[in-house]
A and B are shown apart, each in its own frame.
Chain A
């Protein structure tokens, strides 16, 4: 399975789908997030593999 992390949420999806599909299935806009695997940025056409942990990073974020 593939573990997906977004902010304080975590869920799992079946391997084999693209990052873009995971983002859209979560109801997120691909323009608003970046995907990171093993600490490295990955493009959203990347096909996920069993055992992956994908962290979705919201691009609108902190700082005052």
Chain B
């Protein structure tokens, strides 16, 4: 199989693009496509400071790497959630982030927030004691990460929080929301979530890439990442949707891309409409000052009551 661009040996075939590329041309294509996505959705400029939420996984480390290679001012933040489960999962994930900086981007700045040390309890401890997390650590984890990322973004004065969501992540959510006709979520799902009442802007620069392309990028760049899934995420609903979508993709290349990009275009052009996205009224939490829909304490602060 030959590289479409140079005729060398292709290492990856992307049937949805009718493209097969060698290592060098793939890295160039991936980098240019990231830049194009950032520009097309007006995510940020080269002078805007950006906070990359890194987890030690392939998507977030790949994202941080490509943004730094493109010359963006990208700092990283890692939230140590204290997930051990006999695997030292959070410790190993942090180690991956630190190793990435040391080996690939020694000038990059990594902020580490340790949930157990700074707040007194880890995710597994919270999940055992709180109603919200009972048997469902992922719900707690999402709440905690959103709160801390927003806090760090405000402290650092960044233009946006960048996350490593890829097209497979987005299309799995889109399918789930469509099957359940979650019109509120469908109205809001987007590559850019604008700043609102103290909630930092969030952007997803990898939103055009299939998951196998972000994995290929990190492999070719020689970036080590945490390969195991989070022990709490095994068998997750999102992964089941991804399996179904990849089965469709296998037989009809481009299905995932079409589903997601045509959804964005149809909504943008007004061909589909969900009414006005409900704008919830946010007010500052009495304790931490972060925006909340609750009247007094935000959901995060209530965790520590």
Contact = CB atoms under 8 A, between A and B. Distances in A.
B256 to A, nearest CB: 9
Interface in A16-64: 29-34, 36, 40-46, 57-64
A60 B141 CA distance: 19
B228 A62 contact: yes
Grouping DSSP codes into helix (H, G, I), strand (E, B) and loop, the A interface class, with mixed when no group exceeds half, is loop
Contact of B83 (A29, A44, A58, A64): A64
Nearest to B54: A63
Interface residues of B, number: 45
Contact of A57 (B56, B60, B164, B219): B219
A3 B9 CA distance: 23
A42 B219 CA distance: 11
Interface string B69-103: 00000000000010100000110010000000000
A32 B246 contact: yes
Contact of B211 (A45, A60, A62): A60
A64 B81 contact: yes
Contacts of A62: 55-58, 93, 225-230
Given A34-B12, A64-B83, 15 more contacts: A31-B249, A32-B212, A32-B243, A34-B212, A36-B219, A41-B216, A43-B13, A60-B168, A60-B211, A60-B229, A61-B229, A62-B93, A63-B230, A64-B90, A64-B233
6 contacts: A30-B250, A41-B216, A59-B214, A63-B225, A63-B230, A64-B81
Interface of A: 29-34, 36, 40-46, 57-64
